[in-house]
Amino acid sequence: MFVATHSEALGRFNAAIGRRDLEGASRAAREMAQSSPVSLHCALELLILLARARDRRFEAAARRWLVRLGQERRAAEEPHTLTELQIASVAVAGLADERISRRCEGVLRALVKWVEEGEAA
């Protein structure tokens, strides 16, 4: 049985995200999860695809993503403030509204970058 490396699966994931291929991205994310946790960034990109597709799995995935965000610390090792979590929650809900979804995507991507790279990002 062939087992893909995390980097191979990540390459397929990124290609699927670029094509807006929800099923391909989902498969690649499952492969990545076999070797190490899927990054918060990749989980967000998959969540965005779910929202764009109006997939029934979006709401459950959104709740899981928000819980994970709340559990992860910023690069400065500080917990998120209630305000930061509220902003994230509103932006995640906004992904399902096509009138504001692009702006919400930008807010969430900036938040993830801040979490993963720190204040200087």
Shared domain for 43 and 32, answered yes or no, is no
Output the six-digit token pair for 28.
Answer: 């690649």
Same domain, 3 and 53: no
| Residue 106 · residue 88 · CB < 8 Å | no
Over the stretch 39-95, which tens digit does the pLDDT of each residue have? 999 999 999 999 999 999 999 999 999 999 988 876 656 777 888 899 999 999 999
Shared domain for 79 and 115, answered yes or no, is yes
Please give the Cα distance from 115 to 78 (Å, whole number).
10
CA 7, 15, 43, 115 dihedral sign is: positive
Distances from the Cα of 20 to the Cαs of 1, 4, 117, in angstroms?
Answer: 28, 21, 26
Average pLDDT over residues 102-108: 97
Is residue 121's pLDDT more than 50?
no
Both 3 and 46 in a single domain?
no
Asked if 51 and 15 sit in the same domain, the reply is: no
Domain around 83: 39-121
Position 25 pLDDT exceeds 90: yes
Same domain, 7 and 46: no
Burial state string for 73-99 with b = 16 or more CB within 10 A and e = fewer than 16: ebeeeeebeeebeeebeebbebbbeee
Same domain, 5 and 50: no
Which amino acid, residue 113? K
What is the average pLDDT score of the chain? 89
Distance CA 90, CA 94 (A): 6
Give the model's pLDDT for residue 1.
41
Could you read off the pLDDT of 9-20 as tens digits, one per residue?
Answer: 999 999 999 999
Count up the domains in the chain and report the number. 2
Does residue 108 share a domain with residue 73? yes
